[in-house]
Amino acid sequence: MHPMLTIAVKAARRAGRIINQASQNLDALTVSKKSHSDYVSEVDGAAEEAIIKVLSTAYPDHAILAEEGGSRGDSKKSEYQWIIDPLDGTTNFLHGFPKYSVSIAVKYKGVLTHAVVYDPNNNELFTASRGSGAYLNDHRIRVSKRTRFEDCLIGTGLPFRDLTHMDAYFAMLKDIVPRTAGIRRPGSAALDLAYVAAGRYDGFWEIGLAPWDMAAGCLLITEAGGLVGDLQGDGTYLESGQIVAGNPKVFASLLQVIVPHLTPALIEAQRDAKAS
């Protein structure tokens, strides 16, 4: 395992211990609301600080982009930037619904190079390094081999931060449901993407994500032999927050269904992301 990935795993496990301990007494937590259906608890902050402490001790000159704390360091001066979601699926966590995860990725010169998604409930550790494949608890994983769209299980996420594109999303959902074997929406995009990498889902799509929701999972998928793109199949997903992923065949099939439902607003968002 690459030394940088080893540090990321150490940070993820430390955050996982904080999350697991807090899950034993959810009623005692202090919770605030960032926006509609978007919550943050003291656990998010404690887990994030634990991650940052591990990363900063090992790499004090690296820049950090974290969900709760924002940016630290100068990403323009540092060749490395860590992208952190300390608790992806906070709403699930607060309800005792056991689908949430820790997501940590690092970019080198703007390219994703190492990734960890950790499920503290099941002690499942998904890891990847660019060019070295993707793993689940040290066992190599690959995207599914299904090619018939009608046999596929697809993951997704309902828009919840920004409801602007709700109509377009439901048009996509309405078209995808009868063409596939099933749709799942557990509520942790990082974990959903890890499931695509492991072949548990055949594909995934969502609108309105943040970079920390996607970064680690996207590298897991590409290292597991899958494809990731925005809603037009281009590479602006981290910037636009619009993502389609899957094994190569399913990726193409999803795009065929999704593209006809793109609105001018969605296309403009992708265009703006390309220009940024």
Tell me the pLDDT tens digit for each residue of 109-152.
Answer: 999 999 999 999 999 999 999 999 999 998 999 999 999 999 99
Rounded CA gap, 255 and 217, in Å?
19
Question: Is residue 70 over pLDDT 80?
Answer: no
Band of pLDDT at residue 78, cut at 50, 70 and 90: confident
The stretch 11-18 carries a mean pLDDT of 97
Answer with the residue of higher pLDDT: 50 or 276. Answer: 50
High-pLDDT (> 90) share of the chain, %: 76
Give the pLDDT confidence score for residue 75 in this predicted structure.
60
Rounded CA gap, 269 and 28, in Å?
40
Say which amino acid occupies 261.
H
Give the pLDDT confidence score for residue 159 in this predicted structure.
80
* Of the candidate ranges 20-34, 50-64, 119-133, 195-209, the one whose mean pLDDT is the lowest: 20-34
* Residues in Cβ contact with 181 at an 8 Å cutoff, skipping those fewer than 6 apart: 150, 151, 152, 153
> What confidence tens digit (pLDDT) does each residue in 160-204 have?
777 788 899 999 999 999 999 999 999 999 999 999 999 999 999
Task: Specify whether domain 149-275 bears CATH 2.60.260.20.
Answer: no
Answer with the residue of higher pLDDT: 23 or 174. Answer: 174
Which tokens go with 158? 């309902």
Chain mean position to CA 31: 23
Give the pLDDT confidence score for residue 131 in this predicted structure.
96
Give the pLDDT confidence score for residue 32 in this predicted structure.
66
**What pairing do the DSSP bridges indicate for beta strands 182-184 and 31-35?**
unpaired
* Of the candidate ranges 36-40, 193-197, 216-220, the one whose mean pLDDT is the lowest: 36-40
Domain locations along the chain: 3-141, 149-275
Band of pLDDT at residue 1, cut at 50, 70 and 90: confident
**What pairing do the DSSP bridges indicate for beta strands 182-184 and 153-157?**
parallel
What is the DSSP secondary structure assignment for residue 79, as one 8-state letter?
S
- Cβ atoms of 231 and 242 closer than 8 Å: yes
In the CATH scheme, what architecture does the domain 3-141 have? 2-Layer Sandwich (3.30)
Question: Is residue 263 over pLDDT 90?
Answer: no
Give the pLDDT confidence score for residue 73 in this predicted structure.
64
Rounded CA gap, 74 and 139, in Å?
36
